Amino acid sequence: MLYFSKLRIICITLISLFFIVIASSNLLKFDNDLLDKKINLGLDLQGGSYLLLEIDNDPVIEQKLQNLTVTIRNYFKDKDIKVTNFKLIEQTLLFSTDKNFQQVVLNEFQAEDSKINPYYQRFKSHQLDIEQEENFFKVSYSKQGIINLKTSSQDQALEIVRRRIDEIGTNEPNILKRGNDRILVELPGLDDPMRIKSLLGKTANLTFRFVTNSNEDSFGADKLQFEDGSEEAIVSKRIILSGDNLLDAQPRMNSETNETVVTFSLDRVGAKRFGKATSNGIGKRLAIVLDGNIISAPVIRDKIATGSGQISGGFTFQSATDLALLLRSGALPAPLNIIEERTVGPDLGQDSIKAGIIALIIGFILVILFIFVKYKIFGAITNITLVINLFILIGILTLFEATLTLPGIAGIILTVGMAVDANVLIFERIREELKDEKNNLIAFDSGYVKSRTAILDANITTLLAAIILFFMGSGPIKGFSLTLGIGIFTTLFSVYFIARLLTVLYVSKNKEKEGLI
């Protein structure tokens, strides 16, 4: 029967009032942390920049294979197996060995307890493929190895990108994975992405290396150019110190030279290495290399044992700030390339908001008028329920500080239509029941009960579609599916609790009246 206990009435009222207050926080200012929440506007509404970054994993694969060279050389050296002629060609490592030990080498790569090619614990597959041609071996990453490497690079790159953007203080950035080698960056409110592009485009691989006088360095040497293009220098491949040892980096003004510099501090291991290197290298030039370019190469005058130093290079304060930021956030595991870029101006975003609001208002007014003309007092109940339903939906989005996009507004408009559809089904069913049942209370109760299956079926199938769109889609599609999915739950709550409660109150007072609907 149509009946609501006092406890249920109180619960429905409190829930509705709570979300109405939460939704109102988008327009009003509250001092409470729980109430002072707002819906974030997406890129299409607020304006801003959209960047799609692709990770270039080729240098990572080559670096991993180069590191493997040392492992192979040392391992077989301990076993008195001679391996020579190491070459790296097209992401394939080639080396040769004595014919008498070919099978030993092959077995070592394929052994389950191999130190050279460990199995993945989960997938039980090799990360490396090895082929043998006479006394030559070819080593390359397997498909599973490539997938694992890309996943690792993407996870690291995502974290570094997030740190760099957070350091700048960009408002509500959206940073997401796309596939296994791409990262999506959405920056609402930022209509000039040049600085962000500059920061994200740098790997920020910092190393400290000695400048040598010739190519006859035992570790090998590289000819590198200074960042300002003023000169070149031959730098040892031996890395004295890397950016991994940095604890902090900050821009500063050197009071003696009135020059902007970047000061840095090292961890305990880095300070020990730096002290030893500067002690043994007095009189030598120490090159500070960032992404293959020499920033500066000062002459070491004395031992630096404090674990701190400074980098000079004709910086402006802005460039020094950006360099310090890059060093603090860490080096990217692989270079990032910007493959897609879009900028939405705030005026266009504001136009989208106005268009969405106008569409919502027009649709809402037309629905209200139709329902009121069609069902009179029960149409008014439906309209009140629709308003409360919208407040609850917006309140839930506000509570979780969701990001609202233009497709999200479309999802809200669709929710209004579905809420009306549920009420129409109920009222039409009630009309059918009143033809055979003269007791208004029984007819209304039967109408709600017998229409429930059709309403639930329609909403559950729509909810399944929304869930699939959310997990399979991206960007705007997620926004649409999120508001639609939440709207389905708020619609069912408003129809079977709020609208039904108001209907009960009216029908109970007019249970003897004929032609209620």
User: What is the C-alpha to C-alpha distance for residues 64 and 116, in angstroms, rounded to an integer?
Assistant: 12
pLDDT, one tens digit per residue, over 198-216 is 888 888 888 899 998 765 5
Question: Quick one: DSSP state of residue 500?
Answer: H
User: What is the C-alpha to C-alpha distance for residues 414 and 383, in angstroms, rounded to an integer?
Assistant: 15
- φ, ψ at 469 (rounded to 5°): -60, -40
pLDDT score, position 122: 41
Q: Residue 45 in contact with residue 405, Cβ under 8 Å?
A: yes
SS (H, E, C) 391-424: HHHHHHHHHCCCEECHHHHHHHHHHHHHHHHHHH
pLDDT score, position 34: 66
pLDDT, one tens digit per residue, over 323-382 is 888 888 888 888 889 898 887 766 656 776 777 778 878 877 888 888 888 888 898 998
C-alpha separations of 110 from 106, 123, 280 in Å: 6, 15, 44
pLDDT score, position 394: 92
Q: Residue 94 in contact with residue 136, Cβ under 8 Å?
A: yes
Residue type for position 422: A
pLDDT, one tens digit per residue, over 417-454 is 888 889 889 999 988 888 888 788 888 888 888 999 99
Distance of CA 418 to the CA centre of its chain: 32
pTM for the structure as a whole: 0.64
